[in-house]
Structure formats: structure tokens, C-alpha cells
Structure 1
Amino acid sequence: MSFEQLGLSPYIAKSISKLGFLKPFEIQEQTIPHILKGKDVMGIAKTGSGKTLCFVAPLLQKMQHASYEKSRAIKALILVPTRELAVQIEETFVGLQDALRREVKTQAVYGGTSINPQMKNLYGTEILIATPGRLLDLLDHNAFSMDQLEYLVIDEADKMFQLGFGEEMERILKVVPAKKQSILFSATLNEKVDEIKATLKINPIVVEVKKQDIDIEAIEQVAYHVTAENKGPFLRYLIKTENIQQVLIFVSSTRTADNLVEKLKKNNIDALAVHSKKSQGARMDNLEDFKLGDVQVLVATDLIGRGIHIEGLPYVINYELPRSPLDYVHRIGRTGRANQTGKAISLITEEDLHHFKVIQKKMGKKVEVESTEEVNLHGY
């Protein structure tokens, strides 16, 4: 089945394919048609199942055809538990807008940063992605209006109450218009989610996908303890000594991606980068060269890397750990696909050790961290 067969426009489908998604995941197949028809939907699916695209693509399609007048009245609100998820969702919206007939203005707002730029940028915003605390701050400042709200999305709904958002969520849901389309996504179906359904006074179509798209057991995971200074040389040592001919390397920023590619090239390792700051054409060309085996190393950030699907990709390397365990699973899931084994390697500095333990706990699998003190990196 194709994305167009789900009811998405050829323009949206084209943008999705450019990000590397060749066909819909099961949760996308079962929820996107209902969302496009305006139904209230609750999707239940495990980590790595592609839930974000389920609401991003339909919302963009609906919004680009709607009448638009610049104001402080938002049309869609997406509630999320963490800053990292808010940023990730905003990047997904941006990544799918290339082929749209008009730009749909989106903004992610969250705490831990100045509220003033966020308030200023809210004028003209159509889709607002927000953590509950910062959303309430902005409401208290009358920075935007929900009078014209048509769509409410609650992502990771099972966490929104478990993480102490109960009172904030109650305040928000009291000011959300009664007439709207409600879209909820969750990793589990529990009593807290039932509470949200009761509060919203909705009886949504419930879609539950129990199958995990990413088979952790098919992936050999290895981690190496490195110093920050030795991380680059050790990476080059690994690529050369293990004779790695095709590897996807994940980093946390576009700047790191470009710097790493430059260092690899200086050491005679053929490498390219794909990230959101590269043009669509450059991303497509680099990805195609990598898929064809013309390039040995592809360095990617999470947004673009998540959409890379290559049958039989033998290696994935985490040059830098992602902030969330969910993204870690997405990353290593690029290998070990189509009933084939794959190897995921993580480079762990002293500062990463605690976070890597958290990732292992959330993933439910222990990964030994091997010492590299005895490795001779001279010449690498």
C-alpha cells in the first residue's frame, strides 16, 4: 500500500518519500484514513511504529486547503510531554512542507528558554506544538487564542498524566473548544488514557498495533567507552579495522554532521551528510548514493535518519547518543531489518554513561560497554 492510497495528496506523498519512507507502517495505514475523514482517533502502538507521521501528514493536508488569515488564533494544538518531542515533531512538519502549495506556519514552544521570542513568533502560527507548562504561560500572557481551534492532538497520551501534568492538562482541556477533531496517540492503553477520553467527551476510533516494527533481538549491540578526544580517531579505527563498507552514523546536530564528514574525508573515508539544513535535492542525491553503495558513510541527524530504510544495512553507529530512548531505538532499527542481522555500535563518553543506562533500561536490553584504553589509535 502507498501513502496516496491512504488518501494523502501526491504532494504530501512525494515529500514523505523524499524523507526516505517507502511505504506506510501499520499504524499509519490504520489511522491516517480516519484522521483525513475528520474522525476522533486514538492510536496505540509501541516505540518505533511511526506515530508522528500519522497526524503530521493529515494535518498539513487539511491545513493547506483551509482559508488562512494571519492572526493569533491557532487552528491546531499538539500537546507533548517533552521539549525533545516538541522539537522532533516541528522538524517533521518542516520536512514535509517542500511540495505544499502554501507554507503552513508551525511553532514548537516549551520551557527552559525565553518566552518572549515564542510570544512574538506566535502571530500567524497555525499549528502549535507545546508542552503543558509553557502553553499555560502563553495563555496567561494572552499570546494566542484557541477560539478557532479545529484540531487537538495529544501525543504520548499515556505519559501526559503519569509525568505530573495532571493539573496542567485539566486547565488546558477546560479552555479547549468542545467542537474539534481529537487525535490521541499512546504507547499503552491504560486508565489514564480513559480519563482523557472522558474529559474530552469523545468516543474515538481505537486502533491498536501490537507488533513492534523494530526487532531489537535481530540487532547486535556493542558499546565502546571513549574519551571525547579519542571519539573521532576511534570511529575511523572502527571503520578501517572492521572493513565497514556501508554505515549510517547518527549525530545530534547539523554542525556535528558536517564537521564529522569533513574529518572522515580528510582521512580518506568517503562520507556524505543528510540533515534538514541541506537542500531537498542534496538530501535525495546523498541518500541515493548511499543506498546504491557509492558512498561508504552517511552521517545523519534523527529527523532524516528515521526515514532511511535500506534493506540489509549492516551497520549503524551512534557517534552521539540521542536525548530520548525512543530515538535510540529508531536509530538502531535502521539495521537488522527484513529478517537480516545488523550491528549497532555506540560510542560512549564518561558523561554519556548514566544516560546510556537509562536507554538500556527503557529498551529492556543490557549492552556491555567495552574499554578502549588498550587500542592503539596512532595514525587514525
Structure 2
Amino acid sequence: MSFSTLGLSKPLVEAVAEQHYTKPYPIQEDAIPAILRGKDVLGIARTGSGKTASFALPILELFHRAKPVHVKRVSVLVLVPTRELAIQVAEVFQTFAEALTHPVKTVAIYGGVSINPQMIAVHGAEIIVATPGRLLDLVSSNALRLSDVEILVLDEADKMLDLGFADEMNRVFDLLPTRRQTVLFSATLGDAIADINKNLLHDPVTIQIDDEEQDIDLIKQLAYRVDAERKGPLLRYLIKTGNMKQVLVFVSSVRTADNVVTKLNKNGIQAAAIHSKKTQGARSEALSKFKAGKLTVLVATDLMSRGIDIQFLPYVINFELPRSPKDYIHRIGRTGRAEASGEAISLIIPDDEHHFKIIQKKMGKRVEMLPSEAIDLSGY
């Protein structure tokens, strides 16, 4: 199947080819035609399965088919859980919109930065990608209104609920017209998502992509047994001796992220951290450099990894294990995305070994554990 068979016009098909998409991913094959038909959609697919393009492309196709209007209004609203994801999704819209015969303005709005530039930026916007809190701030400031929204997209709805956005989301829903098309994407189908489905979606097309096993099989997983005091030197040894580029390192806390970055930089490895205590400017700059290959290592907490979308990310390293097997799969799934191979390495201290066995059991896959005692880490 090709993108041209999904109902997309020639300009968008050509734009897709320019972004090196060779064929639609499973979520795109089902979601694009359904959205073009005006159907509500409930999509269950993990991050990295190609879902952003699965709603951005058909939405832009609808703009392409419509007659240009002189008075611009917000007709599409995309709600996301984090600033980084807002920026990333808006960039996807902006990239593909360049192919259209008439301009479509997309604006990302999110907290953590001054509201005034965003109040100016939303003027004339037709697509808004927003975190719920800042969206409500702009509505209460009369900078924008939501009464003309025709399509609502909830991206990573499960994560928004996990982060406590339920009340804010409900306030947003109350501001929207009842007659609209609603598209909901989530990595999981829990009770909360089922409630949203029941209350917001009308006769939706349900798409569930169970591709985690296939994606995991594309990832080469390794683990090193290491004492706690040798973990930092081992990380630097692996990066340097492996001549690794674009390494995403996961940690469990802000403090650890900053400590790891400091020691990496002291040892000649270009690194930056991305976490909730960093300013939005610092986070955006670090992410931009990492995506462009100008930064060797990005150290991230689990939440801040949302929005790190690199099609061919070669390495993920778990400096610390996550709390749940599901989070482990989400982490390593940052590599090996959408048919690309990758390598995931975990550094396991003695206290982690039992938890790591549980992760492997839940994952249904055994990870080779290598000893590190004989590795000479002096100088690292």
C-alpha cells in the first residue's frame, strides 16, 4: 500500500516522499482514510508507531480540498501532555503544510514561557497544538476562542490523564462545539480512556496496533552487571569505545540527570539534560541539537522523553531502570522505531537484578547480561 492509495492528494504524497516515508505504517493505513471520511477515531498505538502523521496528513488534506478563507479561525485543536510534544507535533504540521497550495498556519502553545508572544502568535492560526493549561490561559485572556473547532485531536490521552490533566481537559471540552470530529490516540486502553471514548466519541473507528513485540525484536538488547560506583565510568566507557552518536540516556530523577551530564561533559562527551527543572529555552535547544546530531548524549527523565521523536535513533541506555516494565518498553522503543533497528543497553547494579528479571518476564524476552568486572575503567 502507498500513501497515494489512502486518499491523499499529489502535493502531500510528494511531501511525504521528501520526508523519506517509503510506505504507510499500520496506524496510518487505517486512520488516514477514516479521518478523511469524517469519522471519529480511537487509536491505540504506542509512541513511535507513526501516529502523528496519521492525523496530521488527513487534516492537512482537508484544508487542501477546502476553499481558502479570508477570515482565519481555529478549526483544528490538538491537545498534548508536554511542551516538547506540542513543538514536535506542530513541526510535523508545518513541514507538510509547505506543500499545500494555500497557507495553513499552525501554532504550538504551552506553559513555561511568556504568554505574550503566544497571544500574538495565535492570531490567524487555523491549527492549534496545545497543552491544556496554557490553552485555557489564552482562552481566558480572550486571545483565542474554541467555538469554531471542527476537529479535536487528543494525542497521548493516557499520559494527559496520568499527569492529572483531567479537570483541565474537561474544561476545554466544555468550550468546544458539540458537533465536531474527535480523534483520540493513546498508548493504552484503560478505564479512563474508555470513559473518554464513551463520552466524547461518536461511533468511532477503533484502531489497535499491537506491534510492540515486532518492534522489540528489532532492538538489540544488552545489559551490564555493574557495581554502583562503577556505573558512571562504564557509561562513559561504552560511549567512547563504541564511538556512539545520538545516545539517549534515561535516568529516574532530575538530580541524577544533571550529575550524569556534568561528568559526561568533564570527560569530553557533549551532553545535555532535558527535565522539568530546565527552562523551555534550554530544553528546546538541547532537543534541537540532539536531533541535528550536534549533541552526542541527551539525558532524559521519562516524562521529558515525550516529544523526542527521531526516526533512526541508534542508542538508548538505561542508566537507571524505570519503575514498571511498560515504561521500560516505552524507553527502549525510542530506538528500533517503525522498522528501524537500534540498540538498548541497561546498566544493572546488584539491587536492580530482581526488578530487571521481572521486566524481562513481563516483556517475554530474555536480555543477555554481561559482566563488567574485567573492564578497565581507569581514565573514564
Query: Is the pair's TM-score, using the shorter chain for normalization, greater than 0.5?
Result: yes
Give yes or no for contact 2:246–2:293 (8 Å, CA) kept in 1: no
Deviates more, 1:31-40 or 1:211-220: 211-220
Give yes or no for contact 2:223–2:370 (8 Å, CA) kept in 1: yes
1:10 counterpart residue number: 10
Q: Does 1:111 align with 2:139?
A: no
Matched AA of 2:18:
K
* Structure 1 residues 167 and 235: alpha-carbon distance in aligned structure 2, compared to 1, 3 A threshold: closer
Q: Does 1:238 align with 2:242?
A: yes
Alignment size in residue pairs: 306
Matched AA of 1:332:
T
2:376 counterpart residue number: 374
Give yes or no for contact 1:19–1:95 (8 Å, CA) kept in 2: no
Correspondence 1:343-354 to 2 at 5 A: 343-344=343-344
Distance of 2:144 and 2:212 partners within structure 1: 39
For residue 253 of structure 1, the aligned residue among 283, 287, 290 is 287
Correspondence 1:1-380 to 2 at 5 A: 1-66=1-66, 67-71=68-72, 73-200=73-200, 202-212=202-212, 214-222=214-222, 225-226=231-232, 235-239=239-243, 249=246, 253-256=287-290, 257=292, 259=294, 302-303=308-309, 305-306=310-311, 308=312, 316-318=314-316, 328-334=331-337, 337=339, 343-344=343-344, 374-375=376-377
Q: Give SS of 1:215's match.
A: helix
Q: Give SS of 2:103's match.
A: coil
- What's the offset of the Cα at 1:199? 3.1
Q: Give SS of 2:165's match.
A: helix
Uncovered stretches (5+) of structure 2, i.e. residues with no partner: 225-230, 249-285, 297-306, 320-326, 349-355
* Structure 1 residues 65 and 330: alpha-carbon distance in aligned structure 2, compared to 1, 3 A threshold: farther
Q: Give SS of 1:125's match.
A: coil
Distance of 1:172 and 1:369 partners within structure 2: 50
Q: Deviations over 1:341-369 (max 9, x none)?
A: 75345899xxxxxxxx9xx89x9689879
- What's the offset of the Cα at 1:144? 0.5
Distance of 1:115 and 1:371 partners within structure 2: 50
- What's the offset of the Cα at 1:214? 4.6
- What's the offset of the Cα at 1:237? 3.0
Distance of 1:369 and 1:96 partners within structure 2: 45
Matched AA of 1:31:
A
- What's the offset of the Cα at 1:127? 0.6
Q: Deviations over 1:203-248 (max 9, x none)?
A: 2121222233753244223478557xx95x9645323xxxxxxx87
Q: TM-score, normalised by structure 2?
A: 0.67
Q: Give SS of 1:331's match.
A: coil
Distance of 2:169 and 2:178 partners within structure 1: 15
Matched AA of 1:87:
I
- What's the offset of the Cα at 1:157? 2.3
Matched AA of 1:374:
D
Q: Deviations over 1:149-170 (max 9, x none)?
A: 1111111223333432222122
- What's the offset of the Cα at 1:250? 5.2
- What's the offset of the Cα at 1:320? 11
Give yes or no for contact 2:152–2:182 (8 Å, CA) kept in 1: yes
Distance of 1:250 and 1:151 partners within structure 2: 37
Q: TM-score, normalised by structure 1?
A: 0.67
Give yes or no for contact 2:215–2:337 (8 Å, CA) kept in 1: no
Distance of 1:250 and 1:18 partners within structure 2: 26
- Two-structure CA RMSD over aligned residues (Å): 3.8
* Structure 1 residues 260 and 171: alpha-carbon distance in aligned structure 2, compared to 1, 3 A threshold: closer
Distance of 1:13 and 1:38 partners within structure 2: 20
Give yes or no for contact 1:197–1:203 (8 Å, CA) kept in 2: no
Distance of 1:218 and 1:122 partners within structure 2: 41
Deviates more, 1:172-181 or 1:82-91: 82-91
* Structure 1 residues 185 and 69: alpha-carbon distance in aligned structure 2, compared to 1, 3 A threshold: same
Give yes or no for contact 1:80–1:129 (8 Å, CA) kept in 2: yes
Deviates more, 1:189-198 or 1:173-182: 189-198
- What's the offset of the Cα at 1:195? 2.2
Distance of 1:99 and 1:320 partners within structure 2: 39
